[in-house]
Amino acid sequence: MLLIHCPYCEETLPELEFAYAGEAHIARPADPSALSDEEWRDFLFIRTNARGPHFERWRHIHGCAQFFNAVRDTVSDRFLMTYKAGAPRPDLSPKEDAE
C-alpha cells in the first residue's frame, strides 16, 4: 500500500484515503465549440500512458476531499512529488540531468 502526501493536509497518509482521478494537466478547453472533432477527440480520449514519471490527479477523498496533482513513476510505482491543483507542471528535467 502506497503512502501519499496530501499537499493540502501536508501529511503523508495511506493510499486507502485517496482516489485516482486520471492524467493531470489536461485542462477543459475554454470554448469547446471552437475545437475541431479531432481536437475534441484528443481532449476526451488521448492520454500519455507514460513509462516513467506520470503527471496524474488524485483526490484525498476520505480526508480533505481536495483534488491535487502528483508525479508518479509508473515503473517503480513511486510518488516523486505531489502539488496543489492549478500549480504549473513541475519541470523534472534538471533532476534528470543531475542523475
Partner 1 sequence: MSRYRIAGRGRVDHGAPISFTFDGKTYPGLRGDTVASALLANGVHLMGRSFKYHRPRGAVTAGSEEPNALIGTSRGPGRFEPNTRATVQELRKGLVTESQNKWPRLSFDIGAINDRAYMLFSAGFYYKTFMWPKSFWDKVYEPFIRSAAGLGKSPTEADPDRYAARYLHTDLLIVGGGAAGIAAALVAAKSGARVVLVDENPELGGALLSDPGVTVEGQPAWAWLDASLAELRAHGVRLMTRTTAIGYYHQNFVGLCERLTDHLDTPPANAPRERMWRVRADQVVLAQGALEKPLVFDGNDRPGVMLAGAAQTYLNRYGVRVGDNPAVLTSHDSAWYAAFDLADAGSRIAAIIDTRSEIRADLLDAARQRGIRVLQGHTATGTKGRLRIASVRVNPLRGGTVGAGREIACDALLMSGGWTPSLHLFSHTKGSLAWDADSNTFLPDRKTEACQIAGAGRGLWGYAPVLADGVAAGLAAVAALSRSAGARQFAVANDRPGSGVSHTELPTDRSPGKAKAFVDFQNDVTAKDLRLAVREGMRSIEHVKRYTTNGMATDQGKMSNINGLMIAADALAKAPPQVGLTTFRPPYTPTSFGAFAGYLRGQTFQLTRKTPIDPWAEAQGAVFEPVAQWRRAWYFPKPGEDMHAAVARECLATRASVGIFDASTLGKIEVAGPDAVEFMNRMYTNPWTKLAPGRCRYGLLLGEDGFIRDDGVIGRLANDLFHVTTTTGGAARVLNMMEDYLQTEWPDLNVWLTSTTEQWATVALNGPNALAVLKPLVEGLDWDDFPHMSVAECTVAGLPARLFRLSFTGEVGFEVNVPARHGLALWTALMDAGKPHDICPYGTETMHVLRAEKGYIIVGQDTDGTVTPQDAGLDWAIGKAKPDFVGKRSLSRPDIVAGGRKQLVGLLTEDGSRLEEGAQIVLDPNQPLPMKMVGHVTSSYDSASLGHPIAMAVIEGGHDRMGEVVHVPMPDGVKRARITSTVFYDPSGDRLKA
Letter string b/e over residues 6-27, b meaning 16 or more CB atoms within 10 A of that residue's CB: bbeeeeebeeebbeebeebeee
Residue 5 interacting with partner 1 (CB under 8 A): no
Q: How many residues bind partner 1 (CB under 8 A)?
A: 26
Binding flag, residue 67, partner 1 (CB under 8 A):
yes
- Considering only CA atoms, which of 54, 51, 48 is closest in space to residue 79? 54
Query: Contact, 9 vs 64, CB < 8 A?
Result: yes
Give the nearer residue to partner 1 in terms of CB position, either 8 or 94.
8
Residues of this chain that interact with partner 1 (CB under 8 A) are 1-3, 19, 21, 27-28, 31-33, 35, 37, 40-41, 44, 57, 59, 61, 65-67, 76-78, 85-86
